[in-house]
Structure formats: structure tokens, C-alpha cells
Amino acid sequence: MAKSDTQPDAIIIGGGHNGLTCAFYLARSGMNVRIVEARGVVGGAAVTEEFHPGFRNSVASYTVSLLQPRVIADMGLVQRGYRVIERPVSNFLPLPQGDHLILGGGLERTQAEFARFSKRDAEALPGYYAMLDRVADVLRDLALRPPPNIGSGIAGLVEALTTGRLLSRLSRDVQRDVLELFTKSAREFLSQWFESAPVQAAFGFDAVVGNYASPDTPGSAYVLLHHVFGEVNGNKGSWGHVVGGMGSITRMMAEACAEQGVDIRLNSPVDQVLVEGGRAVGVRLASGEEMWSSRIIANVGPKLLYGRLVPEAALPDDFARRMRGYATGSGSFRMNVALDRLPNFASLPGAGEHLRAGIVIAPSLDYMDRAFTDAKAHGWSREPIVEMLIPSQVDDSLAPAGHHVASLFCQQFDPALAWTEEQEAAAADTIIGTVEAHAPGFRASILGRQILSPKGLERKFGLVGGDIFHGRMSLDQLWAARPVLGHADYRGPLKGLYMCGSGTHPGGGVTGAPGHNAARAILADRRWRRI
């Protein structure tokens, strides 16, 4: 087998945004870094591609909020052209009987909207926002801080004490809110605040995004919280469209890496992590080429890393057993559609700011629960949860003049299903029919579509089970237990093996935090200066 002549200080498996972030920090500190990426383009699931002649869109990841301000600043993304256009309102929910709900646009406006459904809910909103912001601040403080790692000696003890001091400073009320959000179901949590079904749905939708679960599932309230700890242009909790699509972020990150001397190898899928004497020492590509390094850093998910790339015999028995039980499969189905005109919603006809928001078809928590139980029984929901964004309204680089592209992010679709082409087409037709029921004529406006079932997401991006978060975001797989208790510090069970992807703290989404934190751990081990 051919061997590479030069040996870098670190090899990163996967050129997604976290891999690029990690590479940047390591290279900036003087390390010789190589990224090996399976596809012909960097970016992982954060890429912009043409999916129909003349139509481009963010293929998988499709909206931005969670990207860490420190990462944006350190990699100089704004100077490279990073620009995010915020939504004028957060979400537009078409409702039965021709009604609708608009969330966002300021507190007073949202209160007035809620009052149409419940005066009590309108009155409760300021308190709810204040509570959510306080708890989200806790996550913001912890995002760039490695979790305390059980069994890691003095370093883990110091981190545990530091984190403990941070949490101990929280008021009793905030501590209670944190506990409830981490353990309760979304329905339990939201019903303490709101009584109206549409209002509960407006907030409960975030609890099932990338979560193959019911809003009645214990712990689903945390997923709701995970989606609100970001910010756009300094506005906490906001979401927006990055000009050029999500691929523009990773393109700029790749530029920053190149300036630091990072060697990015495309079309280089890894077949196996090479292990000698209980240590990761290199990688073997699908081509048979072997590359050697004293540090192997995985930007792929734990299920892919430990289930396919690292020989199971090289892993400690208990770790291997727990990785076999590591839960993946977010129940997500992604579509991109090329449109010859904007959709026209019966509950709010014509163009307007509602079409520049997240258009959410999920009018109640009961609807969301039925979508999950239906998927378990039939493979996919016959009335799925759909979020649609139309980024071409604010970014004319994505579609020809007078035409549009739409991102459809949908739940619930069984990740364990075989997902044949016939099943994928039938599920896609169900999604289109769901939108058509609220926006007559939508089906006829479609010029082309790109379908990514859970299996399609796995084939294209290496997301096992189509899991957009690299693993279920449940209490047993969060913080100090992500991906497994004892290995939350970005260090794998083999010497020289590290993890920098969304399967580590703080989890999924385009954050850059795992990449940043992993680089800190690697540099600490090398006794280089901290970043």
C-alpha cells in the first residue's frame, strides 16, 4: 500500500465546519495539519450546491444562529464576506380553519398576536422570554468550555470545580429552570406557561427539530433550548440566512485554514483508522493510501468513527459496548425545491414578511405527537412536520430572476427504514401535499426537487441514520456524557485519537464550538500555548 511521504502533526477526518475550525486553531498555533475530506468540496453538511439547473441552495444545513461569535472573529469571517440577513419575524404558522400565527417582530407585537388566542398567554410571554434568556445564557457560558470529564484526574477535577462555581452562582429559580428543561417533555414544560395550542406549537416546534421523538418524550424540552442559545448580528436567539448559503461559511473557513497552511485533501474518503499498540497512528484511505500522524482527529460522528472506521477489537470492551448503544437517527428529511413563483398561503395570501420567516406546518403539540407515532407505525408521517424557508427572497444569487428556491426541513421519518427510491419519492410527495393543503398551487410551481431521506443524508454526508446532530440530544448523551461518560473532553479511548464533531459537547448545529474546544484539548496535550 502506498504511503504518504510527509507526516503532518495532525490529520483531521472530515472537512465540515468543525473540522475546519479545529484545523485553523491548530495551524495558527504552529502545527502542520492535514484535512482528508471524502467529498469533492469542503463543508460537510454546510454546503451550497446547484440542485437544479440555475438553482442553488444550502443542501442540508440551511439557516444560521448558533455559530460562535469567537469563531467568527478569530477566523476573520466578516472580513471575508460573512453576512447574515435576519428574519423580519421568526415563524409563520398556518393554522386550521384559515387562521395563522406569527411569532416575532418584537415583544409587544407578539403579545398582541398571542392575545388573539389567549390573553393569559400574552401576559405570560415576557416572563417566559426572560426565563429562556437566563437559561440560554448558561448554555452560552458553557459552549466554549469543555465539560468535566469523569476519571481524567486533576484536569477533570479543576474543570468540574470551575463549572460547579459557575452553576452555583445561578439563582435558585434559574437552577430549577435548567433542571426542568433538561428533564421534562416539551409539553410538560410549555403547559406551565401557555394554554393555547397554537402558542404551545410556536415554541414546541423547536423541541422536535432534528429530534425523532414526541413533544411528550421526557427531555425533549432541552432540544427546544438548544435552538435558542445562538445569536445573529448580536441579537440573542435570532436566526437568519447567510448570503451565499451555508456553503459560504465553510468556504470562508477553508480560506482561513489555507492562509494558516492547512493541507486540505478532497476526494479522500477514510476507510480505516490505523491502530498500533493501543494508539491511533494514521488513516487508510479508500484508495489504499496510508497517511501517518501522532494525532488523528475525527470530525465524523461517533457512530461512524467507532462503528466503521476504528477496528472494534482495538477499543476497550466497555467503550465498544456503549458505542453500539449510542443512539442516532434524528428522523429528518430534507428537500430543496426550485419554484417558478412564491407560494400563496390561504391563511395569509400574497407576498409579505411571513414568507421571509420560518414557515412552520405543525399547528399543535398533538399534531407533532401524531407525526411521531405515525412514523413509528408506517415509516413516515402522513401529516409530517414541515419547516419551509425561501432564502432566494433575500439572496438573488440562488435562483434566476423571478424564480425561487425553498428549503424544506421535515420530521418525522423513520431513520431505520430502508428508504428505497420509491419510498423516498412517496414521502416527498407527502411533504409536498402537506404544503399544498395550506398553499394551493404549490405543487404546480415546482420545477425541480432534491430529495434527501435519512438514508440519503447518510449516503451523501456520512450522517449515520441521517442524524443531523451526530447523535441524539438526550440527557444520557449530553454535556459530560457526550458521546459517553469519561470521554467528554474530546479525547477518544485510544491514545492519539480525538473527536471534534457535533457528537461532542455542546452538540449539533453549525456552532464551531466542538472544533474550537477540541483544538484546546489537543494543544494542552502538546503543551503548546492555549488558544
Distance CA 361, CA 93 (A): 6
Q: Is residue 161 over pLDDT 80?
A: no
pLDDT tens, residue by residue, 263-276:
999 999 999 999 99
Residues 6 or more apart whose CB falls under 8 angstroms from that of 322 comprise: 484
Q: What is the DSSP string of 320-364?
A: HHHHHT-------EEEEEEESS---BTTB-SSSGGGGSEEEE--S
Q: Report the chain's terminal Cα–Cα distance, integer Å.
A: 37
Q: Which pLDDT band, with edges at 50, 70 and 90, does 238 fall under?
A: confident
Distance CA 257, CA 264 (A): 9
pLDDT tens, residue by residue, 394-432:
999 999 999 999 999 999 999 999 999 999 999 999 999
CA 75 to chain centre: 20
Question: What would the grid cell of residue 9 be?
Answer: 502533526
* Architecture (CATH level 2) of domain 10-44+69-79+244-327+470-527: 3-Layer(bba) Sandwich (3.50)
Domain boundaries, the chain: 10-44+69-79+244-327+470-527, 124-240
Across 221-247, b (16+ Cβ under 10 Å) vs e yields bbbbbbbbbbbbeeeebbbbbbbbbbb
pLDDT top residue among 186 and 141: 186
pLDDT tens, residue by residue, 167-182:
666 778 888 888 888 8
Question: What would the grid cell of residue 151 be?
Answer: 476519571
Backbone CA torsion sign across 221, 222, 225, 226: negative
pLDDT top residue among 384 and 6: 384
498 in Cβ contact with 140 (< 8 Å): no
Q: Is residue 531 over pLDDT 80?
A: no
**H or E, element range at 263:** strand 263-265
Q: Is residue 4 over pLDDT 80?
A: no
Helices (H), 13-68: 17-28
Distances (CA, A) of 103 to 44, 110, 150, 351, 479: 31, 6, 41, 17, 30
Judge residue 350's burial from the number of C-beta atoms within 10 Å of its C-beta, 0-12 exposed, 13-18 middle, 19 or more buried: exposed
149-153, 442-446, 481-485: which is most confident: 442-446
**H or E, element range at 112:** helix 107-115
For residues 57-74, give the mean pLDDT.
Answer: 95
* Residue found under cell 472544533: 515
Q: Which amino acid is at 508?
A: G
Q: Where are the beta strands (DSSP E) in 371-444?
A: 380-389, 404-413
Whole-structure pTM over 0.75, yes or no? yes
- Rounded to the nearest 10 degrees, the angle between the axes of helix 153-168 and helix 119-143 is 150
Per-residue pLDDT, 343 = 98
Question: What would the grid cell of residue 385 be?
Answer: 412536520
For residues 2-31, give the mean pLDDT.
Answer: 90
Q: Which pLDDT band, with edges at 50, 70 and 90, does 530 fall under?
A: very low
Per-residue pLDDT, 3 = 45
Distance CA 519, CA 510 (A): 17
pLDDT tens, residue by residue, 102-114:
999 999 999 999 9
Among 35-44, 476-485, 509-518, where is mean pLDDT lowest? 476-485
Among 43-47, 227-231, 309-313, where is mean pLDDT lowest? 227-231
Q: Which pLDDT band, with edges at 50, 70 and 90, does 498 fall under?
A: very high
Q: Which amino acid is at 450?
A: Q
Distance CA 304, CA 49 (A): 24
For residues 29-54, give the mean pLDDT.
Answer: 97
Residues 6 or more apart whose CB falls under 8 angstroms from that of 77 comprise: 71, 249, 252, 253, 256
Q: Is residue 9 over pLDDT 90?
A: yes
Q: Which pLDDT band, with edges at 50, 70 and 90, does 138 fall under?
A: confident
Q: Which pLDDT band, with edges at 50, 70 and 90, does 148 fall under?
A: confident
Per-residue pLDDT, 1 = 41
Per-residue pLDDT, 529 = 44
pLDDT tens, residue by residue, 501-518:
999 999 999 999 999 999
